[in-house]
Amino acid sequence: MWVSAGMAFRLTYNDGQESDYDDDTKWEVDGGVLKLGRGDGDWSVLVSPGHWATLELGKGGNGKKDDGEKKDKKENKDKKEDDEDDEDDEDD
């Protein structure tokens, strides 16, 4: 696990490029689209599902340590599909 003071998370793109972000950057994954910005709901960067691979949560500037949790678009997509399947089953 990587940990660096001041970094809240690391974004890895499909081509292997990595970018580190601090606690001031907010993020959200919506349907595989990674949204980045300086405030919740105030997104200035949108990264399509075909361009990013993983988010690694690390130790941010607030001194809290995460266990290196990874978020990837496949897990998010699988969860969304499961939720949609559950909704379909309720209609039967």
Per-position b or e across 54-71, b if 16+ CB within 10 A of its CB: bbbbbbbeeeeeeeeeee
What is the distance between the alpha carbons of residues 26 and 31, in angstroms, rounded to a whole number?
17
- Residue 33 sits at φ, ψ, to 5 deg, of -80, 125
Domain-wise residue ranges, the chain = 9-91
Tokens of 91: 């209609």
Q: pLDDT tens digits for 32-87?
A: 999 999 988 899 999 999 999 999 988 644 433 444 455 666 566 555 566 666 66
